Chains A and B, each alone.
Chain A
Amino acid sequence: MERKAHGYLFTWILIAFLLALPFFGGQYVLYMVIQILILSVFALGFNLLLGYTGLLSFGQAGFFAVGAYASAKVLLVFPSLILGVGAGVLAGALAAAILGVLCVRHTRIYFSMLTLSFGMMIYSLAWKWREVTGGDDGLVGIPRAPMGIPGIFQLDMSPMSHYYYFVVVVCLGAIFLLRRMVQSPFVLILKGIRDSETRASFAGIPVRRYKLLAFIVAGAYAALAGSLLPPLENTVTPPIAHWTHSAEPVMVTLLGGIYSFYGPIVGSFFFYILKDVIVRFTQYWLICFGAIIVFLVLAFRGGLVVFYEERILPWLRGRITKGG
């Protein structure tokens, strides 16, 4: 009970903070929080596969890109934000369904190799298929379309604060949806598959089908995150499909904690702070992240959330009961 109250309090403070931010934060802060939220959604989808199903996908950036490009294409023709984001999510889910059928029938290792390969295949298409994707110049002039239902209402999204609220609402919605999902029978079965595929099939579970569904949800979340990018930046370019972008959810989830729901979110936050700091000192931030990953795997596998729960929380409780 105490733990739950603690959790609810924290959540509401955070939401209040997010909603109040435009009143005291400048454009840059809003921009950064949007990026953190986008990365959180991206990483949460990734971790549904890793932490909950035991599948390590190195190609989620491919679906992120599918979402981004699809939403961009739609926005260039029908300037409606809802339509753009919706198209992005659908395209991502569809791509995940098609590629997933091939990827989930194999062992974990093959799965990881295949996802890395497919991610890069999408990158290669984005880079070379000039007629459709604009090649390495990408797509430009994407409008930050108004959000609305024609004939009913229309909200202008050009001020950063307006778009910020849109992203907050969409991302929080996605996060709450997933939070609800991880308490469901579906995800319990995914966890069973993670722990022992053999046991799961002997419990009567069609394992492949569940893996495919998890893959589609993860792809949809990656695509949702991706579809929020074009209206923000007004352009879409191939690097968002590159494996180095696929490395981001891997890293932030490891940093925050693989076996915790909030791990990816915590990791995304710290990642942005870290990146912001590192980039001021050196252009070689990839090597820093690689080193951090190596360090985390060797010495700190539980991630920040586990560190908090096992070290900081008991210490805090100790102080509260002692001091008073």
Chain B
Amino acid sequence: MAELLRTEGIRKFFGVVSAANNVSLSFQEGVLTSIIGPNGAGKTTFINILTGHVKPDSGKIFFKGQDITDLPVHSRVQKGISRSFQIGDIFPKLTVKENLAIPVIAKKGKGMNFLSQVEKDREVGERVQDLMRTVGLEDKANMEAGFLSHGDQRLLEIALAMASEPSLLFLDEPTAGMNPVERVRILEQIRKLSQDRSMTFVIVEHDMDIVFALSDRIVVLHRGAVVADGRPQEIRENDQVKEIYLGEEVL
């Protein structure tokens, strides 16, 4: 199995707090990984660093063998890394269709067209339809994204992340705030896409049911350091992990 992403010695300090402490991890294609850990463990920071939103103090990042440590966000996206946000980040004044059209246009390199009409672009239109169908938002295509329900906004968020056709997709607490129906739908989609080998998912989650149901691999972070890394069964039996979670989640 090909290695998609590798980090070497990532360190990040916010003042004296270590958000990332010498993190060296490797992500293989097709292996659905969950990153878990108590609050403040540095999970979101880690994703921020990997996607280029935050610069590490030291360390290197390699994607498909290439050193991407100094690449800006949009370049990493163009290379095939994508993410969804913990606090939903969508384009509120644009319709669902328009929201999804943007990453599709970027992917197809049509951004610099000044005179063609977006509405009439069939290629873009079809791909957008596809994405809306995947998350179940087709009937809300012309609704302004800001007016969607919270759960629908999270669905849109995930569709946006998928729209860039990434090889590696980071989802930061994808099901937070969703109702059970939406949750099931999105988990099914993640599982299906992961099994198709079309996208490799790395998910940050707090809901242990989801983590254990979906993951091929679990990484446990605590105070910015990797404390455990292995298959779900191994993690479940790991004493150190149990200790960390004492009083927090129940494994």
B: number of interface residues (CB 8 Å)? 41
Bound-state Cα–Cα, A210 to B118, Å? 17
Q: Mark B41-83, 1 if CB is under 8 A from A, else 0.
A: 0000000000101000000000000000000111101100011
CB-CB under 8 A for A192 and B115, given A204-B164, A206-B74: no
Query: What 13 new A-B contacts, CB under 8 Å, besides A185-B101, A206-B72?
Result: A185-B112, A185-B113, A185-B118, A188-B105, A191-B91, A192-B91, A196-B90, A198-B89, A199-B91, A202-B161, A204-B77, A204-B107, A206-B74
Consensus secondary structure, chain A interface: helix
How long is the Cα–Cα vector from A181 to B118 in the complex, in angstroms? 10
A233 at the binding interface (Cβ < 8 Å): no
Option from B77, B90, B114 in Cβ contact (under 8 Å) with A201: B77
B207 → A minimal CB distance (Å) = 24
- A185 & B93 in contact (Cβ 8 Å cutoff): no
The minimal Cβ–Cβ distance linking A51 to chain B, given in whole angstroms, is: 10
Q: B230 in the interface, Cβ–Cβ < 8 Å? A: no
Task: Give the number of residue pairs across the A-B interface with Cβ within 8 Å.
Answer: 103
Contact with A along B95-114 (1 / 0, CB 8 A): 00011011101110011111
Contacts of B227 in A (CB 8 A): none
> Inside 8 A of B91's CB, which chain A residues have their CB?
191-192, 195-196, 199-200
User: Do the beta carbons of B115 and A204 come within 8 Å of each other?
Assistant: no
Is B239 an interface residue when CB atoms closer than 8 A count as contact?
no
Closest residue on chain A to residue B113 by CB atoms: A185
| A180/B115 contact (C-beta < 8 A), A188-B98, A196-B91, A203-B163 known | yes
Binary contact track B147-162/A, C-beta < 8 Å → 1, others 0: 0000000000000110
A228 and B98 alpha carbons, distance in the complex (Å): 37
> Residue-by-residue, is A248-259 near B (CB-CB < 8 Å gives 1, otherwise 0)?
000000000001
Are the CB atoms of A191 and B98 closer together than 8 Å?
Answer: yes
Report which of A186, A194, A196 forms a contact with B111, defined as CB distance below 8 A: A186
Q: Is A283 part of the binding interface, using a Cβ–Cβ cutoff of 8 Å?
A: no
**Cross-chain contact B102 with A192 (CB below 8 angstroms):** yes
Q: Can you report 30 residue pairs joining A to B where beta carbons are below 8 Å apart? A: A185-B110, A185-B113, A185-B121, A186-B111, A186-B113, A186-B114, A188-B94, A188-B98, A188-B101, A188-B102, A188-B105, A191-B94, A192-B91, A192-B102, A196-B92, A198-B85, A198-B89, A199-B90, A199-B160, A201-B72, A201-B73, A202-B51, A202-B77, A202-B83, A203-B103, A204-B164, A205-B74, A205-B106, A205-B111, A259-B93
Contact of A195 among B92, B105, B163 (CB under 8 A): B92
For the complex, what is the distance from the CA of A210 to the CA of B119, rounded to whole Å?
20
Instruction: Give Cα A196–Cα B116 distance, bound, in whole angstroms.
Output: 23
Nearest 9 CB-CB pairings of A with B: A203-B103, A204-B77, A204-B106, A195-B91, A201-B73, A192-B102, A183-B117, A199-B89, A185-B105
A203's nearest neighbour on chain B, judged by CB, is B103
- Do A195 and B93 have beta carbons less than 8 Å apart? yes
Choose among A183, A198, A203 the residue that contacts B164 (Cβ–Cβ < 8 A).
A203
Give the residues in chain B near A196, CB-CB below 8 Å. 89-92
Give the distance to chain B from A18, nearest Cβ to Cβ, in Å. 24
User: Which of these, B113, B118, B160, contacts A203 with CB under 8 Å?
Assistant: B160
A184 at the interface (CB under 8 A from B): yes
Q: Chain B residues with Cβ under 8 A from A202's Cβ?
A: 51, 73-74, 77, 82-83, 89, 160-161, 164
Q: Residue on B with the closest CB to A194?
A: B93
Contact with B along A192-227 (1 / 0, CB 8 A): 101110111111111100100000000000000000
Cα A83 to Cα B99 with chains together (Å): 42
The answer to whether A200 and B102 touch across the interface, beta carbons within 8 angstroms, is yes
Q: How far is the CA of A200 from the CA of B51 in the complex (A)?
A: 14
| A205 with B115, Cβ < 8 A, contacts A185-B110, A196-B91, A198-B89 known | no
- Taking a contact as CB atoms under 8 Å apart, the answer to whether A189 and B106 are in contact is yes
Inter-chain contacts of A210 with B (CB < 8 A): 111
Instruction: Say how far A97's CB is from chain B's closest CB, in angstroms.
Output: 16
Q: Which residue on chain B has the smallest CB distance to residue A188?
A: B118
Q: How far is the CA of A189 from the CA of B99 in the complex (A)?
A: 9
**Least Cβ distance of B230 to chain A in Å?**
30
Chain A 66-87, CB-CB to B under 8 Å as 1, else 0, gives 0000000000000000000000
Question: Could you say which residues of chain A place their CB within 8 Å of the CB of B83?
Answer: 202
Q: How far is the CA of A210 from the CA of B51 in the complex (A)?
A: 21
A189 close to B119 (CB less than 8 A): no
Interface centre among B51, B111, B117 (most CB of A within 10 A): B111
Contacts of A185 in B (CB 8 A): 101, 105, 110-113, 116, 118, 121, 124
Residues in chain A near residue B85, CB distance under 8 A: 198
Smallest distance from the beta carbon of A185 to chain B beta carbons, Å? Answer: 5
| Distance between Cα atoms of A178 and B84 in the complex (Å) | 33
A259 / chain B contacts, CB cutoff of 8 Å: 93
Take A184-B116, A186-B113, A195-B92 as given contacts and tell me if A204 and B98 are in contact as well, using a CB distance cutoff of 8 Å: no
Q: Chain A contacts of B78 at CB under 8 A?
A: 204
**Cα separation A210 to B90 with both chains bound (whole Å):** 19
Hey, which chain A residues are within 8 Å of B75, CB to CB?
A: 206
A192–B104 CA distance with the chains assembled, in angstroms: 13
Q: Interface readout for B131-159 with A: 1 if CB under 8 Å, 0 if not? A: 00000000000000000000000000000
